[in-house]
A and B are shown apart, each in its own frame.
Chain A
Amino acid sequence: MSELNFEYGLLLPEFILVGAAAAVLMLDAFREDLRISRNLLPAITVLGALIAGVASLLFLDRDPTDFAQLIAVDDYTTFFRILFIATLIAIVLGSYEFVNRNITHQGEFYALLLASTIGAIYMAAARELLTAYISIELLSFSLYVGVSLAKTDTRSGEAGLKYVLLGGVASAMLLYGLSIIYGTTGATTYDGIAAALEDGVVGTPAFLLGLAFLVGGLGFKASAVPFHMWTPDAYEGAPLPITAYISATSKAATFALMLALFGIALDAAKADWQWMLASLAVATMVVGNLIAIQQSNIKRLLAYSSIGQVGFMLMAITTVSDASGSALLLHLAGYLITNLAVFIAVIAFYNRTGSEEIEDFRGLAETQPYLALVITTALFSLSGMPLLAGFVTKFVLFQAAAEEGFLWLATVAVIMSTVSLYYYLKVIRQMYVAEPADGDSRWRLSPIAYLTTGVLFLGIFLVGLWATPIFEAADGASAMLFG
């Protein structure tokens, strides 16, 4: 074996995030003695994330390297470091009012968000099965706790319990699959597995069994149908910022991991897993989008809509190639921006009204036209309207799938995108057509809410109209896997 590289400097951004988490925890514990304001905690979180973001930029365009062959530090990792850190900042800024009012344990809330971001980053960076698995667990554990953090709401506890039990089963499945794959290939590094697959492990019953467990476990984490049962309950019960975080970072991290795992390690066994993922993708697109139509709670609606979106992303993993890899990264970036815009707008709405029902959005265009505009734009973008981020990213994604010989899959995706427009329009109709409830007058947003939703709002248009920079970044990152 060649000499292993133990350069700890490669882990700098994550060290900063851990440091920020420790600082937040400690300051929160001694808050009353030190007489510091509560707003210092989100400020430190954002500051730490910003410094970590700058530190990750240091690794941009350098020669690809790795840490002890466990994680890769290249443009792919940098892409996801920036993406996840930006998501963290957006969520903390967008939700600190919500947290001040509804969460008793704020220091822990921010510390868990920071810790889970580290898990997400290493899921994308992992090039070895054990490291990948332990990173998944870091992200999941933080979210199990996060989901149950609204301790006054009984739905939160129920959601946390369901999530942790089903998550445990899924982790066991995943581990079982990983151990069988290790047993058949004799390697845990992605490169080692790829080399072993060349020697004819492909298609043996044991390998297939391992793959089936692996796909099942990862399918649960990504909430693909039929492993999606936890999603609506966890989304509904969790405090809104955690819901936003699950739908953004947790999803994107799972797909970053799947792209690297299936693209590098299991590429030679395509014939063995392509049909598994293709059938998951179809089931996920159809079930997610059809059930979303019946929902009356905005969080459950967004849960099923995000399941539908997972179907589109699974399509990119199914057809894994350089083109669909960069298309997936572009789609993830666009999806994250759009989804965060919806969620932060919904958080601002909840701060004012305390409601999550779609019918309570009636007349929002009268009482808060700016927020109605943001939600409308983001929902249109999710369904894939031209000019907006969703159109460009979906177009590239579907095209990549069609070119790889999965035209039928892309056709289903286009049909289901149209279906999704129906339930997004239901929300939009409430805001623009229905009259506001009696006694509702105009209300104002806080400056921070204006700032975060404004930036994301512009981002949706930016990706929609001028996607070149992000597309180039995604292309360069994906080239690290398939180059």
Chain B
Amino acid sequence: MESLGIIVAFYLLSAIAVGGAIGVFLASDLIRALAFLVLSFVATAGLFLTLSGDFIAIAQILIYAGAIPVLIVFAVMLAPLAGRNNGNGLYLVPGLALGAAVAVTVAFVAVDVEWNELSGALLAERDFATTANAIGNALVGRYVLAFEIASVLLLAALIGAIVLVREDEAT
């Protein structure tokens, strides 16, 4: 991270992402919580962009900020008996304590460690305009087996979803 612009963008987007996540937690209405969730996802996509992950950023917007909230809205609207209440339950205090502990640990590690960074000349050496190419090649090249296992996984998930949702006629 060299230029000031990137640094400002990074912290701004991080603040939006974390703020959105807190909003999900605080909003009392499920649909409002969902709106905060989308905000958080979009900011995360921006974070990917600052890391030169252009393909992942677009995929994040299409899938997490686009498709999944629509599904959740459908689920909430179609379930007439379910409440829209996003209230917090019994485990609020222990949950917060655990979350805080994890957050502090991760933050400590993130600050403490000297991460391997590609910057300056080293980064320029890699010279890529877009990551989509490399991801595509890895997916159906080197990692083709993982790709194929994923297809069986999706088939299983698809079958499962249909079987569980279908209403059985009386036999």
Give the interface of A toward B (CB within 8 A).
Answer: 4, 6, 11, 18, 25, 67-68, 70-71, 104-105, 108, 111-112, 115-116, 118-119, 122, 128, 130-131, 134-135, 137-138, 141-142, 144-145, 148-149, 151, 160, 183-184, 186, 204-206, 209
What DSSP secondary structure best describes chain A's contact surface? Answer: helix
Report which of A6, A149, A186 forms a contact with B144, defined as CB distance below 8 A. A6
User: What are 29 sample pairs from A and B whose C-beta atoms fall under 8 A apart?
Assistant: A11-B145, A68-B145, A70-B145, A104-B168, A105-B163, A108-B159, A108-B163, A111-B156, A115-B152, A115-B156, A122-B149, A128-B146, A131-B149, A134-B149, A137-B153, A138-B149, A138-B152, A138-B153, A138-B156, A141-B153, A141-B157, A144-B160, A151-B164, A151-B168, A183-B115, A186-B116, A204-B113, A205-B109, A209-B106
Give the interface of B toward A (CB within 8 A).
Answer: 105-106, 108-109, 112-113, 115-116, 142-146, 149-150, 152-153, 155-157, 159-160, 163-164, 168, 171
What is the total of A-B residue contacts with beta carbons within 8 Å? 87
Q: How far is the CA of A6 from the CA of B163 in the complex (A)?
A: 35
Report which of A4, A104, A142 forms a contact with B171, defined as CB distance below 8 A. A104
CB atoms of B160 and A141 under 8 A apart: yes
Q: How far is the CA of A251 from the CA of B69 in the complex (A)?
A: 35
Across-interface contacts of B171 in A (CB, < 8 A): 104
Instruction: For the complex of A and B, list the 8 residue pairs with the smallest distance between their C-beta atoms, beginning with the closest.
Output: A145-B160, A206-B113, A138-B153, A115-B156, A70-B145, A131-B146, A108-B163, A105-B163
Instruction: Give the distance to chain A from B123, nearest Cβ to Cβ, in Å.
Output: 15
Across-interface contacts of A138 in B (CB, < 8 A): 149, 152-153, 156
Residue on B nearest A144 in the bound complex, by CB: B160
What DSSP secondary structure best describes chain B's contact surface? Answer: helix
Across-interface contacts of A71 in B (CB, < 8 A): 145
CB atoms of B109 and A209 under 8 A apart: yes
Q: How far is the CA of A25 from the CA of B149 in the complex (A)?
A: 18
CB atoms of B142 and A118 under 8 A apart: no
CB atoms of B144 and A68 under 8 A apart: yes
Across-interface contacts of B164 in A (CB, < 8 A): 145, 148, 151, 160
